[in-house]
Amino acid sequence: MSNEEIEKPEDNQEQETANDSEQQAQPEAEQDTAKLLEDARNKADEHWNELLMARADLENMRRRHARDLENAHKHALDKFVAELLPICDSLELGLSAAHKDEATLETVREGMDMTLKMLLGNIGKLGLEQINPEGEAFNPDLHQAVSMQPADGVEANQVISVMQKGYAFNGRVIRPAMVVVSQ
């Protein structure tokens, strides 16, 4: 055999080996692409599930907030009503005591005074303040002048009598005091 003949089969073997490696490389590339595609699909599914869970959480939070708001509106005055119940009890006791034969005008007055003090104390706990400006300077933010009268020994623009007390709730005037002011 000549050198050429010996070299040719080796060349053929090299070509066949190269062809085989190309054929093997092609399926490996396809496998890599398929793997990347599968990973991308898995990641997309994962993100989709996260989105659905986030939407469900948001919807649950919205419902819970609506329920809490409804309960807050429903029970907003619970504390106020609870503070008024002892006053109702006191008024009922006072009425039943006033109807008894041994009741006197003085005991009825004392009972009414105690009930009024109880009322003012209980509503004071909730932030309601009484405005009683007798003897103070007239303040148009807190008082409403019903009339002006000349008064001896009193400076001008002083409250000389209160016709109706005013009320403020948490610092905001609900009803101004109706007053008579000196000229």
Q: What is the largest CA-CA distance in the chain?
A: 150
| Residue spans of beta strands (DSSP E) within 45-152 | 128-131, 143-149
Report pLDDT for 104: 87
- Domain ranges in the chain are 1-76, 79-126, 129-183
What is the spatial distance between Cα 181 and Cα 133, in angstroms, rounded to a whole number? Answer: 11
User: CATH homologous superfamily of domain 129-183?
Assistant: Head domain of nucleotide exchange factor GrpE (2.30.22.10)
Residue 163 in 3-state DSSP? strand
Q: pLDDT by residue for the chain (183 residues), tens digit each?
A: 555 555 555 555 555 555 555 555 567 778 888 899 999 999 999 999 999 999 999 999 999 999 999 999 888 888 888 888 999 999 998 888 888 888 888 888 998 999 999 999 988 888 899 999 988 999 999 999 999 999 888 888 899 999 999 999 998 999 999 999 998
